[in-house]
Structure 1
Amino acid sequence: MKALKVMCLVLGGAAAAGSVQAETIQLGPRPFFLIDQMDDGVLKSKLLSCAERDFERKLFSIGHRGAPLMFPEHTVESNVAAARMGAGILECDVTFTKDKELVCRHAQDDLHTTTNILASPLAPKCTAGFTPAGNGADASAECRASDVTLAEFKTLVGKMDAADKRAQSVEEYMDGTAAWRTDLYAASTGTLMTHAESIDLFRTLGAKFTPELKAPAVEMPFEGFSQEDYAQKLIDEYKAAGVPPEDVWAQSFNLNDVLYWIENEPEFGRQAVYLDGRYNVEGFDPMKPETFAPSMQELADRGVNYIAPPLWVLVTVAEGEIVPSTYAREARKAGLNLITWTLERSGPLGGGGGWYYQSIKEVTRSDGAMFELLHVLAQDVGVKGVFSDWPATVTYYANCMDLH
């Protein structure tokens, strides 16, 4: 019955999805709330001048796990919301179950924070069951997609990604949503999807595709399933669905995955995205090219065409203004297309804006900085798209500036 319910939502949503494509995109009040936080100036005036226009879907606007600012990530409901906000590209983070079926989850080992598994009959199957906080240790659990079969996975319900590390009970542990998010749209249902179902849904919604091959939490090969098998299976599901390669931007933090696609599936490899995690390497500095290993030109020479670092890596501050970083200039010089992540993921931005704004914290004083940063990324850095946890913000900007 659960599988039937999902397919009814995906396929029965065809009429609703048709309305998503045909009707005016619904952006709601948030873009205007953010504009109100901006200092008066040319950019604010330009954005305000677009308030009464009709908005269209934009490829520049990428739904990051759907619309997880308010909806449980990687659920049908989250992605329908993102499409209604004009996201032209939607994301399925791809991992696999015990029986090696591809499903949409941000990590293979996140079921304990993103689903109801700990309160379900499947809890005993978890890699590590719930342990309450005590003796100076946080509450903990670990439940992997690879702990359960696909049929078992499909019995779960998505929830907002959160956990209360002070919890003494499963119920308390599951009730940890940040104050600036909400459980309002997670109260009744969060319908999980396989990767193949996400392809059907996104196509029905009129959106294109950016699947991310997630790092396995299990040792590979997994029961004979190699990393190459995993990378190939992701592409095979688009080929089986008849999706044109130009509609797919396959992503991975593992450069070898990207190089595998370039070599073995060149039509898909042309738009494969290297999610750049080199910021985690000791000594990395986005202002010092000598710390980029491999270099931007070396990546381009190996066939990489798209690279995607976090927001802060692409910008810095000069004379009180947000400007492109050396990293951004070097990437463009090597001919690399830039995508970045993740707008609307930091919560309120007063007082520096947190991790995603660390390189511009001195000029990040209010939520209005989101549009100021977005403007520099689009006009000066030249990014091709921006992931957002609430795509309406990026959709508004892309429409106002007549971006693709």
Structure 2
Amino acid sequence: MAATAAGLTGSLLLPAAQAAKPARPLVIAHRGASALRPEHTLAAYAKAIADGADFIEPDLVSTKDGVPVARHEAFLSETTDVAKRPEFASRHVRKTIDGVTHDGWFVEDFTLAELKTLRTIERIPQSRPGSARYDGMFQVPTLEEVIDFLAAQSATVGRTIGLIPELKHSTYFARLGLPLEERVIATLAAHEYTRRAPVEIQSFEVANLRMLREKLGKRANLRLVQLVGVGPVKPSDVAATGGSLTYADMATPAGLRAIAEYADVFAPPTRALIPLKKDGRLDTPTALAADARAAGLRLVTWTFRPENRFLAADFRDGAGDDARNEAGSIAEMRRYLALGLDGFFTDDPALGVKALAG
């Protein structure tokens, strides 16, 4: 790579300034158009762009040789054909990462060359048989390949498409000697496209975002996004260091003001904004949207999915849990958009575009 983290502040981003607030909520392609193509493949990103997404999201993990690649987590068994590859049978292990234990295969045990021999598969084929028809067709892309592809697609469609990478398992990878932050920002710095196009770096952890803000300052095309879960769960880096901060603490007015000191965007799950009643229908909105705006944060939520099993009961159509329900998904997104969102993650960007059309 031509750039290093040390040279990042002078080479990655535009001069320091606050980026303009979007004219309308941003449609963010969650793992690409992951309702229609196997997640985190160039095909999923291409479909998302064709369907009108403003941003594509590559979740990033590290190979054994330190290359950032697009997978939702380190666990490879659910999204690649690794279980069918006898040459890698001996690498089947049990690991606990960020409190979750899996038996299978993990990205950090594969070099990039080895990972490139695998092919992707659909994570939930029972709900997405159309996507599962693409099983075995695509490779796991590197971050560098994603950026090259995004630049080419942007030139083809005639509009700038943003990149919103998420740093996954940062503390875990750092302990393995495979720190994501330095490699990711060096890759971003090496590409002309990501030196000028919108880039939003996300994490469920806190320390890495604080470090990035301290190193990068405020930049015109860069935003930092604090993702949060719900309840008494601690961010992984906080848990690893024995801290007490929980996602519930972060969602209080005081917690949001603290987030605003280093991040630009607050991104809770949808049900933290409008929870569900016991019958599965939407309840009264919480104060979280208003509190985030009061703290000076942009508000983005995750994730809208088009199958009945993922919808609030208000919007299901009775066709079965695995049935695709476009009208219900659009109606649910519109209910949340009424809260004044600045953006939202969706597995089906075409439906997000329709939801915004009114």
Letter of the structure 1 residue corresponding to residue 252 of structure 2: F
Choose the corresponding residue for 2:340, options 382, 397, 404.
382
Query: 1:250 corresponds to which residue?
Result: 201
Secondary structure at the residue paired with 1:87? coil
| Contact 1:388 1:394 (8 Å CA) reproduced | yes
Identity %: 25
Gaps of at least 5 residues in structure 1 are 1-57, 130-139, 163-176
Residue 54 of structure 2: SS of its match in structure 1?
strand
Report deviation, 1:277: 2.0
- Could you tell me how far 1:213 is from its partner in structure 2? 0.3
**1:281-296 to 2 correspondences below 5 Å:** 281=233, 292=252, 295-296=255-256
Q: How many Å separate the matches in 2 of 1:252 and 1:245?
A: 21
Shift in alpha-carbon separation, 1:183–1:98, aligned structure 2, 3 A: same
Displacement of 1:376 in angstroms is 3.0
Q: Give the Cα separation in 2 of the matches to 1:276 and 1:84.
A: 29
Matches within 5 A, 1:43-122: 60-109=26-75, 111-122=76-87
296 and 64 in structure 1: CA distance in 2 versus 1, 3 angstrom threshold: same
CA distance in 1, matches of 2:282, 2:174: 46
CA contact (8 A) 2:251 2:288 kept: no
Q: 2:187 aligns with which of 219, 229, 237?
A: 237
In the alignment, what sits opposite 2:117?
A: 155
Of 194, 210, 214, which aligns to 2:168? Answer: 214
Q: How far apart are the structure 1 equivalents of 2:44 and 2:250?
A: 41
Who is 2:126 aligned against? 178
Give SS of 2:200's match: coil
Distance 1:285 1:272 in 2: 19
Question: For 1:293 and 1:232, how far apart are their aligned partners in 2?
Answer: 32
Which secondary structure does the structure 2 equivalent of 1:95 belong to? strand
- Post-superposition Cα deviations, 1:121-154, rounded to whole Å, max 9, x if no partner, equal 442352428xxxxxxxxxx732111111011111
- Change in CA separation of 1:151 and 1:125 when aligned onto 2, cut-off 3 Å: farther
What displacement does 1:246 show?
A: 5.5
Q: CA deviation at 1:200?
A: 0.9
Deviation at 1:187, TM superposition (A): 4.0
Of the structure 1 ranges 247-256 and 272-281, higher mean CA displacement relative to structure 2 is found in: 272-281
Contact 1:341 1:386 (C-alpha < 8 Å) held by counterparts = yes
Structure 2 CA distance, aligned partners of 1:199 and 1:290?
32
Aligned to 2:290: 329
Deviation at 1:312, TM superposition (A): 1.0
Task: Give 1:205's match in structure 2, choosing from 153, 157, 167.
Answer: 153
Q: 1:291 to 1:193 in 2, by over 3 A?
A: closer
**Helix, strand or coil: the match of 2:182?**
helix
8 Å Cα contact 2:79-2:120 kept in structure 1: yes
Task: Say if 1:324 and 1:376, in contact at 8 Å, map to a contact too.
Answer: no
Partner of 1:338: 299
The answer as to 2:111 corresponding to 1:142 is: no
Query: Which of 265, 277, 290 matches 2:216?
Result: 265
Residue 329 of structure 1: SS of its match in structure 2?
helix
Per-residue deviation, residues 75-116 of structure 1 (Å, max 9, x unmatched): 11111111111112101100000111111000012x111101
2:138 to 167, 190, 210: 190
Q: Which amino acid aligns with 2:304?
A: L
Q: What whole-Å deviation, never above 9, does each CA across 1:347-385 have from its counterpart, x for those lacking one?
A: 215xxx56xx4xxx5x34434443333223223x21111
- The count of aligned residue pairs is 299
Distance (whole Å) between structure 2 residues aligned to residue 290 and residue 239 of structure 1: 31
Aligned counterparts of 1:141 and 1:290: Cα–Cα separation in 2: 32
| Contact preservation (8 Å) 2:81, 2:136 | no
> Shift of the alpha carbon at 1:317?
7.4
Distance 1:294 1:107, change over 3 A: farther
- In 2 relative to 1, CA 114–188 (structure 1 residues): closer, same or farther, beyond 3 Å? closer
Q: In 1, distance between residues paired with 2:297 and 2:148?
A: 30
CA RMSD of aligned residues (A): 3.1
With over 3 angstroms needed to count, the CA separation of the structure-2 counterparts of 1:290 and 1:274, relative to structure 1, is closer
**TM-fit CA distance, 1:63:** 0.9
* Change beyond 3 A, Cα 1:201–1:322: farther
- Rate the CA distance shift 1:289–1:330 in 2: closer, same or farther, 3 A: farther
Contact map agreement 1:59 1:87 (CA 8 A) in 2: no
Query: Aligned partners of 2:291 and 2:169: how far apart in 1?
Result: 27
Contact in 2 for aligned 1:59/1:88 (Cα 8 Å): no
